[in-house]
């Protein structure tokens, strides 16, 4: 998967994480979403991300697998993440 070059995550002065698209704030992200995004940017696979999120947040991997898939689907809808094929 490839992350769009127009998207990045920044933190506001009050500590809120915001996804910016082409330099404009678009979405507020929670800690889990920020962690997933960071791992996608690093080139990790969805399976690896799910395992790492489960460990990082102490959640069952069945839940993190669904959460990661849902977030990836949303990113694809907004053309912020692309399949390599």
Q: What is the pLDDT of residue 50?
A: 98
pLDDT class of 14 with cuts at 50, 70, 90: confident
pTM of the shown model: 0.90
User: 2 pairs with which residues across the strands?
Assistant: 82
Q: How far is CA 22 from the centre of its chain?
A: 17
Question: Which residue in 58, 59, 40, 41 sits closest to 49, CA to CA?
Answer: 40
Residue 13 pLDDT exceeds 90: no
Domain limits at 63?
Answer: 2-82
CATH number for the domain that contains residue 76: 1.10.10.1150
Provide the domain count of the chain. Answer: 1
pLDDT class of 55 with cuts at 50, 70, 90: very high
């Amino acid at each position: 998967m490839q992350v769009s070059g127009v998207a990045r995550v920044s933190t506001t002065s009050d500590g809120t994480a915001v996804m910016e698209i082409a330099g404009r704030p678009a979405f507020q992200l929670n800690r889990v979403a920020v962690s997933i995004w960071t791992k996608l940017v690093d080139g990790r696979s969805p399976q690896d991300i799910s395992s790492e999120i489960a460990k990082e947040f102490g959640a069952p991997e069945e839940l993190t697998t669904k959460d990661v898939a849902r977030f990836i689907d949303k990113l694809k809808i907004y053309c912020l993440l692309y399949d390599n094929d």
